[in-house]
């Protein structure tokens, strides 16, 4: 038998497919077929090249879209490059080339690698976030954020021009610049969003982050918190992905409670009050002190007014906590520290008790109101704090408990949460409140390799958006783009780029020098795929209406929190403004799945430092793309992490070799059992692709192939179907075999095989006989046996275990078993 000419076949068909434009999606109007939009997270084209993890997702969605295409759907399966970002900048610095050159080189390499895998991408729709034709629209959209506000009444974003003139526009813009404490990575020399500094360390390099005050561009994603939460109900995401989104948004329901304040210099209560947020207003009777975040603005006020007696100690504590990094604050979390604001007392509205006020860094300034009522009897943290500083602990007791107790004189009663909120509102001591952990999105980066934020600062006019007809704002070509210690963007030092005329008044002005985060370009790329070459709009309504929403989106778990949240938000914003048409719906992705990691042999993570990285180039060189693809599908359940196994890929190679050989020999004569396996296989592979059980699809193809081998060949009426079943997984081999059996056209547009329901079961089967739950016998019977006959045969076969007794109960499961209770 001839050896399978793997590489010749693959090269031949890849060229043919490209020539025929086989995988090009038809625009609306050109096709009457149903559309299917399959999406994979577009890769960041790193200098390392493709990782074996990338194709796991690409191959899976390729299999699914291939099946759809074979079924006649108009499939959109696009590819592009999320090419801005820090690693390219670092790579470029190392290689002494520009980021533009580095990107071009890396994209070239990725393109070669992806093409060698024979993935059915529509390459005519390729997008690149660093292409001015693309980022022009990213900038354009930023200007929409800048020129919009959130209309609370309508519950959606509207153009800022609709804001009543009595409002100060700058306070309502969806994109705004504000001084904020940012996470600063001293190694990367970059400001990070909270999301990128989780656990107090830089996401990129693992260095502890410091806090810095800096004016940053922010986007008001918090306005969408409720919608981002609620709309999860209408989409099909993996449960754990929904859970991550819900967690991150972090909704808490409770109340704001106001505490009146008395200070050292004032006998009468101060004007100021402290508002605390609590999810447990029912424990208000047990609040024995208040705690403010060290940064709470009232602390400053009271120091100035002389209302606190120990200003020096307070200021020292404030300085100490400001100097701590996030990680230090977290690590020391067990030991509570703080300082009392001596001279200041608050009134507990529930019982008019005077309670002390403290500052402590266990209270966060940027959540809730930056102040809490401490109930040490019912909160672990408050308890720890109270124990350190010997503060009173009062337990709040429920009415139910009161009934059975005899020492309750004077002990406060626990009201139900809702009852308590109503009481607070009635007495005007507070109000119902909802808070979210989600913060506004820090959108500024002090880096070169990102989209310049299209704003011009004019001394006279303030911040002015770059007019649409002057977009894109290009990155200047420079020699040095290394970040500086000053925290300024490298763009700031390029004076000829920075200095411009104000688009409004024509006076001297300066460009904004911050660039956008990576998340920007990836927040809307799926829209651009619908209409990638449009130079009038980011995408036409007609095309968006046709293609959106994405039917299936797949990517790694590492992007199911941030990227998913940002892009859902971004999409909703565009939808609010009508840039994305109403008909597309409020969510961009109808269905989201994620694949598991591919680990190194032995179960460790692949990493360069461990030297256990498998390079797709080597695998394809040795085995070819079909084996590589099929092995990745066979390794294990799609959503689980699985280790690479060199022996495992050999098994798949042998399998495809056997398939190849099957078509070298004679056609076999069909017989009943073979037909059964065939029809079962059609069903199992069809269902398996739908439910993303790709590993069992491959198993079933092996079972079918083994059956054909045993039969001595593939019966002629099963040849087409068998090749069609193979096509989504081994597209090159399938195409070659398709040609070999004399079929015209591509197998990938040839239809999808159907199974015959009547042929899913063999003529006879082994009827299982259980006695008292144990399998005692098997009787081969006709498939169409009647219930009565089956029971009779079963009882006969079970005679030995029944010992002449009459069965108490006989249960019949059609096609499976008879269960006898003796």
Partner RNA sequence: GCCCCGAUGGCGGAAUGGUAUACGCGGGGGACUUAAAAUCCCUAACCCGAAAGGGUGUACAGGUUCGAGUCCUGUUCGGGGCACCA
Binders of RNA in range 191-220 (CB under 7 A): 194, 198-199
Q: Is 814 exposed, middle or buried (0-12, 13-18, 19+ CB in 10 A)?
A: exposed
* Cis peptide bond upstream of 549, omega within 30: yes
Which one of 80-88, 91-99, 244-252, 535-543 is the stretch in contact with RNA (CB under 7 A)? 244-252
CB of residue 134 vs RNA: minimum separation in angstroms?
Answer: 28
User: Looking at 224, 414, 655, 722, which residue binds RNA (CB under 7 A)?
Assistant: 655
Say whether residue 641 binds RNA (CB under 7 A). yes
DSSP code of 785? -
Which one of 179-187, 401-409, 450-458, 810-818 is the stretch in contact with RNA (CB under 7 A)? 810-818
Could you write out the DSSP letters of every residue in 678-695? HHHHHHHHHHHHHTT-HH
Q: Is 219 exposed, middle or buried (0-12, 13-18, 19+ CB in 10 A)?
A: buried
- Kindly state the tokens that stand for 654: 């042998």
Say whether residue 418 binds RNA (CB under 7 A). no
- Kindly state the tokens that stand for 740: 């070999």
Say whether residue 654 binds RNA (CB under 7 A). yes
Question: What b/e readout covers 375-413, taking b as 16+ CB neighbours within 10 angstroms?
Answer: bbbbbebbbebbeeeebebbebbeeeeeeeeeeeeeebe
CB of residue 775 vs RNA: minimum separation in angstroms?
Answer: 5
- Cβ contacts of 331 within 8 Å, gap of 6 or more: none
Say whether residue 539 binds RNA (CB under 7 A). no
Beta carbon nearer to RNA, 419 or 499: 419
Say whether residue 427 binds RNA (CB under 7 A). no
Task: For residues 728 and 736, give the distance between their C-alpha atoms in angstroms, rounded to a whole number.
Answer: 13
Say whether residue 783 binds RNA (CB under 7 A). no
Separation in Å, CA 212 to CA 191, 322, 489, 553, 667: 8, 10, 15, 37, 75
**550: β partners:** 589
Task: For residues 782 and 354, give the distance between their C-alpha atoms in angstroms, rounded to a whole number.
Answer: 87
Which one of 371-379, 412-420, 448-456, 501-509 is the stretch in contact with RNA (CB under 7 A)? 371-379
Which one of 74-82, 310-318, 761-769, 782-790 is the stretch in contact with RNA (CB under 7 A)? 761-769
Say whether residue 239 binds RNA (CB under 7 A). yes
Binders of RNA: how many residues, by CB under 7 A? 81
Beta carbon nearer to RNA, 12 or 658: 658
User: Looking at 582, 604, 778, 783, which residue binds RNA (CB under 7 A)?
Assistant: 778
Task: For residues 529 and 78, give the distance between their C-alpha atoms in angstroms, rounded to a whole number.
Answer: 7
Question: What b/e readout covers 676-689, taking b as 16+ CB neighbours within 10 angstroms?
Answer: bbbbbbbbbbbebb
CB of residue 643 vs RNA: minimum separation in angstroms?
Answer: 6
Say whether residue 809 binds RNA (CB under 7 A). yes
CB of residue 783 vs RNA: minimum separation in angstroms?
Answer: 12
Residues 316-355 that bind RNA (CB under 7 A): 329-330, 332-333, 336
CB of residue 326 vs RNA: minimum separation in angstroms?
Answer: 8
The answer to whether the beta carbons of residues 181 and 308 sit under 8 Å apart is no
Beta carbon nearer to RNA, 8 or 650: 650
CB of residue 381 vs RNA: minimum separation in angstroms?
Answer: 4
User: Looking at 211, 432, 658, 761, which residue binds RNA (CB under 7 A)?
Assistant: 658
Residues 430-449 that bind RNA (CB under 7 A): 435, 437
Say whether residue 265 binds RNA (CB under 7 A). no
Say whether residue 761 binds RNA (CB under 7 A). no
Task: For residues 166 and 26, give the distance between their C-alpha atoms in angstroms, rounded to a whole number.
Answer: 50
Beta carbon nearer to RNA, 212 or 658: 658
Identify the residue whose tokens are 């020539």: 19
Q: Parallel, antiparallel, or unpaired: how do β-strands 508-511 and 552-556 relate?
A: unpaired
User: Looking at 232, 765, 781, 792, which residue binds RNA (CB under 7 A)?
Assistant: 765
CB of residue 68 vs RNA: minimum separation in angstroms?
Answer: 22
Say whether residue 31 binds RNA (CB under 7 A). no
Say whether residue 415 binds RNA (CB under 7 A). no
Say whether residue 803 binds RNA (CB under 7 A). no
Helical segments of 715-798, H only:
716-726, 731-740, 787-797
CB of residue 753 vs RNA: minimum separation in angstroms?
Answer: 20
Residues 550-609 that bind RNA (CB under 7 A): 557, 561
Separation in Å, CA 136 to CA 139, 188, 685: 5, 27, 44
- Kindly state the tokens that stand for 470: 């002057």
Identify the residue whose tokens are 């947020």: 277
Beta carbon nearer to RNA, 323 or 775: 775
User: Looking at 651, 665, 712, 751, which residue binds RNA (CB under 7 A)?
Assistant: 651
């Amino acid at each position: 038998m001839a050896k399978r000419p793997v590489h010749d076949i693959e090269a031949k068909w890849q060229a043919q497919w490209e020539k025929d434009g086989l995988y090009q999606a038809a625009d609306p109007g050109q096709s009457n077929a149903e559309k299917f939009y399959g999406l994979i997270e577009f890769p960041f084209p790193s200098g390392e090249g493709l990782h074996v993890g990338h194709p796991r997702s690409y191959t899976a969605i390729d299999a699914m879209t291939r099946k759809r295409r074979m079924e006649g759907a108009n499939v959109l399966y696009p590819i592009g490059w999320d090419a801005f970002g820090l690693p390219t900048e670092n790579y470029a610095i190392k290689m002494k080339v520009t980021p533009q050159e580095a990107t071009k080189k890396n994209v070239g390499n990725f393109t070669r690698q992806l093409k060698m895998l024979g993935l059915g991408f529509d390459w005519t729709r390729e997008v690149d976030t660093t292409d001015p034709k693309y980022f022009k629209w990213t900038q354009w959209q930023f200007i929409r954020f800048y020129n919009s506000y959130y209309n609370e009444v309508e519950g959606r974003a509207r153009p800022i021009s609709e804001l009543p003139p009595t409002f100060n526009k700058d306070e309502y813009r969806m994109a705004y610049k504000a001084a904020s404490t940012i996470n600063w990575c001293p190694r990367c020399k970059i400001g990070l969003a909270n999301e990128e500094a989780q656990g107090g360390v830089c996401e990129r390099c693992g260095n502890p982050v410091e806090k810095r005050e800096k004016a940053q561009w922010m986007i008001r994603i918090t306005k969408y918190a409720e919608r981002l939460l609620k709309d999860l109900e209408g989409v099909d995401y993996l449960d754990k992905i929904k859970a991550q989104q819900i967690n991150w948004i972090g909704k808490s329901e409770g109340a704001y409670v106001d505490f009146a304040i008395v200070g050292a210099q004032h006998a009468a209560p101060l004007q100021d009050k402290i508002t605390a947020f609590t999810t447990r207003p029912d424990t208000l009777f047990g609040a024995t002190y208040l705690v403010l975040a060290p940064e709470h603005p009232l602390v400053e006020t009271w120091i100035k007014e002389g209302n606190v007696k120990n200003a020096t100690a307070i200021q020292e504590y404030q300085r100490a906590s400001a100097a701590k990094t996030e990680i230090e604050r977290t690590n020391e979390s067990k030991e509570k520290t703080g300082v009392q604001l001596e001279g200041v007392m608050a009134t507990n509205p529930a019982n008019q008790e005077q309670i002390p006020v403290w500052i402590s860094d266990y209270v966060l300034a940027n959540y809730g109101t930056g102040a809490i009522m401490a109930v040490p009897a019912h909160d672990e943290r408050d308890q720890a704090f109270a124990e350190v500083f010997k503060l009173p602990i009062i337990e709040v007791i429920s009415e139910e408990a009161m009934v059975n107790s005899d020492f309750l004189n004077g002990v406060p009663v626990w009201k139900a949460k809702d009852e308590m909120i109503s009481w607070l509102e009635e007495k005007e001591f507070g109000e119902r409140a909802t808070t979210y952990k989600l913060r506004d999105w820090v959108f500024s980066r002090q880096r070169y390799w990102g989209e310049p934020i299209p704003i011009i600062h004019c001394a006279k006019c303030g911040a002015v958006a770059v007019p649409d007809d002057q977009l894109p704002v290009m990155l200047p070509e420079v020699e040095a783009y290394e970040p500086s210690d000053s925290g300024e963007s490298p763009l700031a030092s390029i004076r000829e780029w920075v200095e411009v005329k104000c688009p409004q008044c024509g006076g001297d002005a300066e460009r904004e020098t911050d660039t956008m985060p990576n998340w920007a370009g990836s927040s809307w790329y799926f829209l651009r795929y619908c209409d990638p070459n449009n130079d009038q709009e980011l995408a036409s309504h007609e095309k968006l209406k046709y293609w959106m929403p994405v039917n299936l989106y797949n990517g790694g778990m590492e992007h199911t929190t941030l990227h998913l949240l940002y892009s859902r938000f971004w999409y909703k914003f565009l939808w609010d403004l009508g840039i994305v048409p109403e008909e597309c719906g409020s969510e961009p992705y109808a269905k989201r799945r994620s694949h598991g990691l591919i680990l190194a042999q032995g179960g460790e993570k692949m990493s360069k430092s461990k030297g256990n990285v498998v390079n797709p180039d080597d695998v394809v060189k040795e085995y070819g793309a079909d084996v590589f693809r099929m092995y990745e599908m066979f390794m294990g359940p799609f959503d689980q992490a699985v280790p690479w196994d060199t022996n495992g890929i050999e098994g798949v190679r042998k399998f495809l070799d056997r398939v190849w050989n099957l078509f070298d020999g004679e056609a076999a004569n069909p017989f009943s059992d073979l037909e059964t396996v065939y029809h079962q296989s059609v069903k199992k592979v069809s269902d398996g692709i739908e439910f993303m059980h790709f590993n069992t699809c491959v198993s079933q193809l092996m079972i079918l192939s083994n059956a054909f081998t045993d039969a001595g060949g593939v019966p002629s009426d099963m040849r087409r179907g068998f090749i069609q079943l193979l096509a989504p997984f081994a597209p090159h081999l399938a195409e070659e075999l398709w040609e070999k059996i004399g079929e015209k056209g591509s197998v990938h547009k040839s239809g999808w095989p159907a199974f015959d329901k009547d042929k899913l079961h063999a003529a006879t089967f082994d009827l299982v006989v259980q006695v008292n739950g144990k399998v005692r016998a098997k009787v081969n019977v006709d498939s169409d046996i009647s219930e009565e006959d089956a029971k009779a045969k079963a009882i006969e076969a079970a005679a030995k275990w029944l010992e002449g007794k009459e069965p108490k109960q006989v249960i019949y499961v059609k096609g499976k078993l008879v269960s006898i209770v003796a």
